[in-house]
Amino acid sequence: GAVVSQHPSWVICKSGTSVKIECRSLDFQATTMFWYRQFPKQSLMLMATSNEGSKATYEQGVEKDKFLINHASLTLSTLTVTSAHPEDSSFYICSARNLGTSGYNEQFFGPGTRLTVL
């Protein structure tokens, strides 16, 4: 099956610092990756769509200057949380889109990254 990894799995940082999270598709190429944020006991909220070789598309209400996305290759997308603050503490999850054998798009999710900003 399609495997997506994230690194790190958890990170604790001081307020004001920047944190980079990596998302990799291990056994397939993903032209599109998605970044989600999930607060405790809540569902996933789409933050942005990351397309290889082009600028990311952000959902309404998501600050593009705060959440920098780089999709440099077909297997890697990165999310950098700049000048992190405690309210940015959350579970960040990426997914990679793979055209499944059934012919329709399927997204495979990474294991998530727990960010805690002190």
Partner 1 sequence: TQLLEQSPQFLSIQEGENLTVYCNSSSVFSSLQWYRQEPGEGPVLLVTVVTGGEVKKLKRLTFQFGDARKDSSLHITAAQPGDTGLYLCAGLRQGGKLIFGQGTELSVKP
Note whether 11 and 62 are within 8 A (CB). no
Q: Does 104 bind partner 1 (CB under 8 A)?
A: yes
Q: Does 106 bind partner 1 (CB under 8 A)?
A: yes
Long-range contacts of 41-44 (CB under 8 A, 24+ apart): 44/93
* Rounded-to-10 torsion of CA 90, 91, 97, 100: -150
Instruction: Retrieve residue 28's tokens.
Output: 């397939």
Q: Which is nearer to partner 1, 34 or 67 (CB)?
A: 34
Residue from the set 7, 11, 13, 49 that interacts with partner 1 by CB under 8 A = 49
Residue from the set 25, 50, 79, 110 that interacts with partner 1 by CB under 8 A = 110
- Where do contacts with partner 1 occur on this chain (CB under 8 A)? 4, 6, 32, 34, 41-46, 49, 57, 91, 93, 95, 97, 102, 104-112, 114
